[in-house]
Amino acid sequence: MTTTERRRRDEGIIFVALFALTIPAANWMIGHVGTVCQPAGPCLVPVGAGLMAPSGVTMAGAALVLRDLVQRRLGVTASSLAILAGAVLSALLAPPALVLASAAAFLLSEFADLAVYTPLARRGLIIAVVASGVVGLVVDSVVFLWLAFGSLEFLLGQIIGKAWMVLISVPCVAWLRRRDARLGMAPV
C-alpha cells in the first residue's frame, strides 16, 4: 500500500467514525443539551436571527459535510454503509420515536445529499459540499421535524443551524482539496 493510499484509508476511517457518531450525538443532545428544554419536547438552542432549533441541529449539520468527506476518501459504498451505521447507532441513545424520526430523516437526507454531491464532486467543484449540504439539510429538517414532533415549527431554525455548519466547513474542505491536489491524492 502506498503512502497516499494509506493516508486516504486512515483519513477515511476517521471521517467514518466521526460521521457515524454525529447522529447518535444529535439525538442525545435533543433531550439533554440546550438553553431551553421543553417539558415534553426538545431542548432548544439559538441559531441566529432570534430563531431556535432542537439542539441536535449542529451535529446533523456536521453529518452532512462528514458524509461528503467519507465519500471523497472511501467512495460511495463506504458512505452508504456509514449512513446505515449512523442510523443504527442512534437507537442506543434516544427514545424509539425519536430514533425512527431521526433514522428516516438521516437516511433520506443523506441519500439526497449523496445524489447531489456525487456528480458535482466528479467535476471537481467545491460547490458540491455546499449544494449537497443545502439539499440534505432541507430534506433532513422537514422529515425529522414532521416525524419527531408532528410540526414544522422549528423548520427555519433547523435550516439556519445546519447551514451554519455547512458554511463553517467550506474553508476546511477547500484546504483539504488543495492539500490533496498538492500531494497528488485524487478522490476515490
Highest mean pLDDT among 7-11, 83-87, 117-121: 7-11
Model confidence at 45: pLDDT above 70: yes
pLDDT tens-place string over residues 106-161: 788 878 878 888 888 877 667 888 888 889 889 989 999 999 889 999 999 999 99
Please tell me the predicted confidence (pLDDT) of residue 143: 95
In a domain, 113, yes or no: yes
In a domain, 143, yes or no: yes
In a domain, 184, yes or no: no
Distances in Å between the Cα of 168 and the Cα atoms of 32, 62, 95, 171 are 24, 9, 30, 7
**In terms of residue numbers, what domain contains 136?**
3-179
All cell numbers assigned to 96: 424509539
% of the chain surpassing 70 pLDDT: 98
Tell me the pLDDT band of 13, cut-offs 50, 70 and 90: very high
CATH code of residue 88 = 1.10.1760
In a domain, 87, yes or no: yes
Cα–Cα distance, 83 to 109 (Å, whole number): 10
Cα–Cα distance, 12 to 42 (Å, whole number): 32
Number of domains forming the structure of the chain: 1
Please tell me the predicted confidence (pLDDT) of residue 50: 93
Tell me the pLDDT band of 188, cut-offs 50, 70 and 90: low
Please tell me the predicted confidence (pLDDT) of residue 87: 75
What is the pTM (predicted TM-score) of this model? 0.82
Per-residue pLDDT, averaged over 2-7, amounts to 86
In a domain, 186, yes or no: no
